[in-house]
Amino acid sequence: MNSIKHGSQIKYGRLIGASLGPGDPELITRRAWAALQSGARWLYPVKKAEESSYALAIAERGGLAVPADAEALVFPMTRDPVILDKAWARAAARTVELLAEGRDLVFLVEGDASTFATFGHLARVVRQLVPEVEVETIPGVSSFAAAAAATGTILAEEDETLAVIPAAYGVEFIDHLIDEFDTLVLLKVKPMIDETVELLERRGLVATSCFIEKVGAPGERIVRDVVSLKGEKVNYLSLMIVQNPERARGELRRGCRKRVERKQTAESEAT
């Protein structure tokens, strides 16, 4: 579709972030599925040019044919700020160029687009370049929600607490959070696997921890004997769920129980 202009005004297409879930195409929501088949042009992330895309593979496993004009955007796996800035600038500029044609773009996102995803940064930079661009985010199943379901783990119930963090914050930070939360989800645990397992051994939490790799995708692996992972090179797409059933909790000052008690007291006084 050609760009639509009103005088000198360009009518930009919408930028849609379609969450596809962590790997199982059956977890793609109906809304994301509709966006993929809406006629919008597909964009998908790759780590480097000519490399395969994990997000694109989810759609392909779901039986969707990749449109001929689908285009990859490169987001390199590096912490070098200069390289990252250049890559983000190129990706955003290309996205704006395509949006100026007046056609919607759907950006394929593994997991959930609002949780540790590339889409949020891309959308922010695009809006900085062209504030009038409409952005739609389609929510999806996160990797840790799928991992909890796959392992039969209850992440939190009633008044329990839950934290989701990148394991790269280190064992000292993780050690501190073990005492603050009933359940920890440690994302991208690959570079920290040995140190994390050793911490869990020291804290006596090996039996209440579980490792999940490539959840929902071919090659999914669940390891409950986390000590066996020491010295192993695990997949980048891995996480660990750690639960501390003996965590000491403080007084719940503002929660449903307190409100119910106040409501019951008020009703008693009224009668």
Give all domains of the chain, ordered by start, each with its CATH number.
4-141 (3.40.1010.10), 144-243 (3.30.950.10)
Band (pLDDT 50/70/90 cuts) for residue 3 is very low
The whole-model pTM stands at 0.86
Place of tokens 């696997």: 193
Q: Give me the torsion for CA of 82, 86, 87, 89, rounded to 10°.
A: 140
Of 2-16, 73-87, 186-200, 255-269, the least confident: 255-269
Average pLDDT on 45-53 reads: 89
